Amino acid sequence: MDQPKVTVYIPTYNRKGLLERAINSVIGQDYSNIEIIVVDDNSTDGTESFLEEKSKEVANLKFFVKKQNSGACASRNIAIENATGDFITGLDDDDYFLPNRISDFVHFWTEKEKETVFLYSSYTLKIGESHFTKRGLRKKKMDFDSLLKVNDVGSQVFIETEVLRERGFDERLPMWQDFKCWLDILSGGGIAQGINNYSYVVDISHAHERISMKRKDKLLIAEDIIKSSFQLDKYQRLYLENHKCNYGVGYKMNFKEVLSVLFRLDFDFFFKFRFIKQYIKTLNN
């Protein structure tokens, strides 16, 4: 393929101003063969009218409006089902791309290792009007096991559309839908390959709620669904438990479990450090 078509999907809900920035960042890519699909989750802030006008100006923009609110996960699946690109990647409505994002992915795809099933990247974090910081990759290759240990993939990947369409996002989960989707894909074998280009900007400077701020009980529901979806051994279950470090949620770990992790030679220092951090948090549970 000389210049394969790439679909960018954007789920949105009541963020018209931020959505316009997101769409414009895709329009401004230095790669031309792009399809943009926006799925509006029954917004009440004039998003539908904005999309109607924007689609008249932008020929490669398609949009769908849901008749009732059902969450970003269902919105992603609608976009994936209607995508016509050879490849697909996502963008949250409150984030945006730097101009080189799609061209970098297409370039790296042609040089990827044979067993690679999707690409992911580092990102730039916007924490103020003019305050940015770069977040590099800790791991440039991930398989099913390493993703369970630490999710360095994040919420967006670059992948063949048919592969993502076959799996889709699990709409039962109140959060962690992206994490489970990547696990689903890697459970069939292969690796994910990362690139350090910082072309995705995660904006936490605005007043809108982000998914990471959701309530902890939703996290526990998501964890139970993931545990029941895969045949995880004892250590894989501990890997998954460790993901809750960022939320301060956990169960009562016993000291034998902690020692078993510390003495595993195939666990790197980073994982052991996070696991101990989680164990300390659970002491007060």
DSSP code of residue 109: H
Predicted local distance difference test score (pLDDT) of residue 98:
97
Is 14 in a helix, a strand, or coil?
Answer: coil
Residue 99 has pLDDT above 80, yes or no: yes
Task: Say how far residue 58 (Cα) sits from the centre of its chain.
Answer: 26
Q: How far is CA 62 from CA 9, 185, 223, 236, 239, in A?
A: 10, 27, 34, 41, 40
CATH class for domain 6-211?
alpha beta
Q: What is the spatial distance between Cα 75 and Cα 95, in angstroms, rounded to a whole number?
A: 16
In this prediction the pTM is 0.86
Strands 191-203 and 141-142: antiparallel
pLDDT of 206 higher than 80: no
Domain locations in the chain as residue ranges: 6-211, 233-282
Confidence of residue 101 (pLDDT cuts 50, 70, 90): very high
